[in-house]
Structure 1
Amino acid sequence: MRKKFRGVETSKRKLDHIEICLNRKVESSYTGFEDVMLIHKSIPEIDFEEIDTVVEFLGKRLSAPFLIASITGGHPKAVEINKNLALAVEELGLGMGVGSQRAGMEGGDLESFTVVRDFAPNAFIYANIGLPQIIKDVEVAEKAVEMIDANALAIHLNYLQEAIQPEGDKFSRNAYDAIEEVCKSLRVPVIVKETGAGMVRDIALKLKAVGVSALDVGGKGGTSFSAVESYRCEGYKAEIGRDFWDWGIPTAYSIVECYDVLPVIATGGIRNGLDLAKALALGAVVGSSALPFLKRALEGVESVMELLRYYIDGLKVSMFLTGCRSCKDLRKVEIFISGRLKDWLEVRGYDVSKLCIARVVE
C-alpha cells in the first residue's frame, strides 16, 4: 500500500510541476550568454547551403546538435506531451529525454514514458532517474533504461529542488560510489545531468573518474526548480524557495568549466539558435531546452517542430555569419567575452583573452 501511495503522491507532484511551469513565472536570470559575442565575419567565404549541422553524440547521429531536455512523465496528462515531442524529434532526426522515471516505477502512468519510444523508434532517447534513487537502489538504473529502450541514462542532480521541496530527498552520501556502480554495470552510456544550478570543474573531474560518459551542465538561467517548488510550499518555506530562485552557476560559465573534461550538453536558458551557437562556441557538443517546448507540446506536434526549426535555423544563420560549415568549426571560432562572465572566469583563474581565441577539444 505504501508504494502505491507514493506513486499517487509522485504523480500528483508531476502534475503540479506541469501546471506551475505552464502558468507561473519560473525562470531564473542570467545565463552568461548575454556576455558572449560571436565575432561577425563580413565575408563568410562559404555558401549557406554548404552548412551541415549533423553531429555524432554518444554513438548516435543527430541532424543538429539539439535535444529536447527532460520535461515530464508519470501522469496521464504527460502522455500527450511526450507523444508530440517524440513525433517531432523522430521526424527531424533529433533526440529527447523523459522526465524522472521514479513516478513510473512507483505506480504512476507508465504509458507517459513508453509512448516516447513507441513514436520515436529511431531517435536518440535518454532515460532519466534521480541520484537519490540511484543511491537507494542502483538497480533502478537498468529498469529506467529498459522501460523506454533508451540509448543512454541521465542521472539527474536536483538537490536545489530537493532542498526546497516539501517531500524532497535530502541525502547524497555515497553518491560517487553509486554512480560508478551504474557506469560499470549499464549497457548504455551514462549522462550526469544538473537541473538548473550548474556544474563546476571539480565535480566534472570526479564524475569522469567514476566512468560517466557525458555531462548535462544544466546551468542557471532557465527553469528554476526552487521557484517551481516555492509555489508548492507555504509560509516561510515558500519564502526560502524565493530566496534561492536565482541560486546556481550560469550555463555559459558551467560550459567553460566542464567542456574539456567530458562531452557537454548545454542546458539552462537556451531559448534560440543564437544561444545554441554560443553554447557550442564555448565548447558544448549539443544543447537542449525544456520549458519552451512544454506549451508547444500541448498545442500539437506541428507546433513542436516549428519551434525546433526556429532553433536549428537560427543556429545555421549564426554558423553562416561566422563562416562555419560544420558544428565542429563553430567550436573553433574566436569570440568576445565581457561583463560578469569575464569577471567570474578571471576570478577562477582563466586567461579570458586566450579563451576567446581557442577552446577546441577534438
Structure 2
Amino acid sequence: MIMSTSRRKIEHLELCAASPVESRKVGPGFKDVMLVHRALPEMDMEDIDLSVRFLEKDMNAPFMIASITGGHPDTTPVNAALAEAAEELGIGIGVGSQRAAIEDPSQEESFSIVRDKAPSAFVYGNIGAAQIREYGVEGVEKIIEMIDADAIAVHLNFLQEAIQPEGDRDASGALEVIKEICSLAVPVIIKETGAGISHEDALLLKDAGASAIDVGGVGGTSWSGVEVYRARERKDTESELLGELFWDFGIPTVPSIVECSVFLPVIATGGLRTGLDIAKSIALGASVASAALPFVEPALKGKDEVVNSIQHMLNEFKVAMFLCGCKDVKDLHSSPTVISGWTREYLELRGFNVKDLALRSKNTDFQRV
C-alpha cells in the first residue's frame, strides 16, 4: 500500500534522526579546499561583520537552516524549535515540502508555525518540481501565503523519486513549469536535494528566471540512502538495491558550487558540518550556506540546543574569516582559495581554471574558461 505524504514525512524525519543516512563513499569535497592563511590579518576579530543581504532580506550571517520537515502533527514542535532559533540568531530558514499541507489542509500548522515563531526571519517555502504540474501556480501561491514566505524553493529530487515506489518519475516539462513559477512576485530558489547541479543545468535555470540556486550536493544526507531503510522495512528488495547503488550518485557540493557560477546567488548545501565549511563555501562563490541534518537531533530537544549548535558553527566561521584576513563576507568572496585532489581534477576536466581561485585578489573574478 502506498503510504500518505504526511506519514512519509514523519518517517523521513525519524530515519534521519536515528539512522546513518549521510553519503558513505563520496564526501562534499571540503577536504580538497584550503583557504590561504594570513599570518598578519591586521584587524580585531571582534570587528568582523558576518551580515549579508540575500534576496532583498538582511541576515546576521550568511547561513540558513535548510528545509527539514513539516507535514505531520509530530513535526510541528520540531519546526517551532528551528524557527525560534533562526529568529534569535537572525538567519534564514526553509520548511520541508509543503505538498502534505496541500493534500491535507489540517497539516498547515506544521508549516505556518515557522512564520509564527520567526516573524522577521528570511523564510522560504518548498514544493517539488514534480508536484507543480499537479497543483499549478495557484497551488504555489497558496503555500507562499501559508507561511508568508520571502521566497519559494522548487526542489529537484528526481533521484529520490526514481527510488521511491510512490515516486513521480515523469520529469518532462519541468523546465517550463519552473519558467512559469518564476513569474511570481517572490524570488524563486531552485534547489537540489543531494545530487548537485551541473553548469549546464545552472545556465538553463538562470535563463528560466530563477532568482537563486541551491546546489544541494552529494556529501550530506543521501535521500537514496533514506529510501534504502524504508525499502528494508517493507521488504522491497528492488527499491533497496536501487537505493544502495545510487547512494552516492551525483555531483559533490564543492564542485557543484563552482559549476553553478553563472552570476546568480548560490546557496551551498550538502555536507556542511563546520564554520570552516561555511567559509570555504563563501570563498568558492556561494552567497550563503545552509545545512539540515546536524540540526535534526538538536531540534528534537528544543530551541536552545539548535541555537547552541548553530552559534558554535558561526563562531568557527568567524575564526576562519579572521585567519584569512577578511573583515566581512565581501572580502571572503575574493579571498584566494586552493582546490586540490579529486575535486581539482574533476573541475579541470569540466573546463574550470581553478588556478584563478588560488591567485585571485579583490580585483579579480573567477569564471569558467
TM-score range, shorter chain: over 0.9
2:189 to 191, 211, 217: 191
Secondary structure, counterpart of 1:231 in structure 2: helix
Unaligned runs of 5+ in 2: none
Tell me, yes or no, if the aligned pair for 1:101 and 1:144 is still in contact at 8 Å.
yes
1:178 maps to which residue?
177
2:81 to 80, 84, 96: 84
2:108 maps to which residue?
110
Tell me, yes or no, if the aligned pair for 2:202 and 2:262 is still in contact at 8 Å.
no
- Separation in structure 1 between the aligned mates of residue 297 and residue 282 of structure 2, nearest angstrom: 26
- Separation in structure 1 between the aligned mates of residue 219 and residue 121 of structure 2, nearest angstrom: 27
- Separation in structure 2 between the aligned mates of residue 349 and residue 120 of structure 1, nearest angstrom: 42
1:96 maps to which residue?
93
Tell me, yes or no, if the aligned pair for 1:282 and 1:331 is still in contact at 8 Å.
yes
1:338 to 332, 337, 340: 340
1:23 maps to which residue?
18
1:50 to 37, 47, 51: 47
- Separation in structure 1 between the aligned mates of residue 91 and residue 195 of structure 2, nearest angstrom: 25
1:75 maps to which residue?
72
2:222 maps to which residue?
224
Give the alignment of 1:130-169 within 5 angstroms: 130-139=128-137, 140-169=139-168
1:121 maps to which residue?
119
2:307 maps to which residue?
305
2:4 to 1, 9, 33: 9
- Structure 1 residue 151, shift from structure 2 partner: 0.1
Q: Deviations over 1:31-55 (max 9, x none)?
A: 1111000111111111101100000
* Residues 297, 207 of structure 1: alpha-carbon distance in 2 compared, 3 angstrom cutoff: same
1:207 to 200, 205, 208: 205
- Separation in structure 2 between the aligned mates of residue 41 and residue 92 of structure 1, nearest angstrom: 28
- Separation in structure 2 between the aligned mates of residue 195 and residue 282 of structure 1, nearest angstrom: 20
- Separation in structure 2 between the aligned mates of residue 252 and residue 297 of structure 1, nearest angstrom: 27
- Structure 1 residue 335, shift from structure 2 partner: 1.4
Q: Deviations over 1:196-238 (max 9, x none)?
A: 0000111111111111100000000000000001111121320
- Structure 1 residue 261, shift from structure 2 partner: 3.1
- Separation in structure 1 between the aligned mates of residue 354 and residue 55 of structure 2, nearest angstrom: 30
- Separation in structure 1 between the aligned mates of residue 289 and residue 22 of structure 2, nearest angstrom: 18
Q: Deviations over 1:63-106 (max 9, x none)?
A: 00000000001011110100001111111111100000001111
Partner amino acid for 2:181? Answer: V
Secondary structure, counterpart of 2:69 in structure 1: coil
- Structure 1 residue 260, shift from structure 2 partner: 3.4
Tell me, yes or no, if the aligned pair for 2:84 and 2:303 is still in contact at 8 Å.
yes
Partner amino acid for 1:157? Answer: L
Give the alignment of 1:320-359 within 5 angstroms: 320-358=322-360
Secondary structure, counterpart of 1:138 in structure 2: helix
Secondary structure, counterpart of 1:40 in structure 2: coil
- Separation in structure 1 between the aligned mates of residue 153 and residue 359 of structure 2, nearest angstrom: 32
- Separation in structure 2 between the aligned mates of residue 220 and residue 237 of structure 1, nearest angstrom: 20
Q: List structure 1 runs of 4+ shifted beyond 4 angstroms.
A: none
Q: Which one is further off, 80-89 or 174-183? A: 174-183
- Over the aligned positions, Cα root-mean-square deviation in angstroms equals 1.5
Percent identity between the aligned chains? 53
Partner amino acid for 1:16? Answer: E
| Corresponding residue pairs, total | 356
- Separation in structure 2 between the aligned mates of residue 163 and residue 143 of structure 1, nearest angstrom: 27
Q: Deviations over 1:251-298 (max 9, x none)?
A: 000000113331100000000100000000000000000001111101
Partner amino acid for 1:166? Answer: P
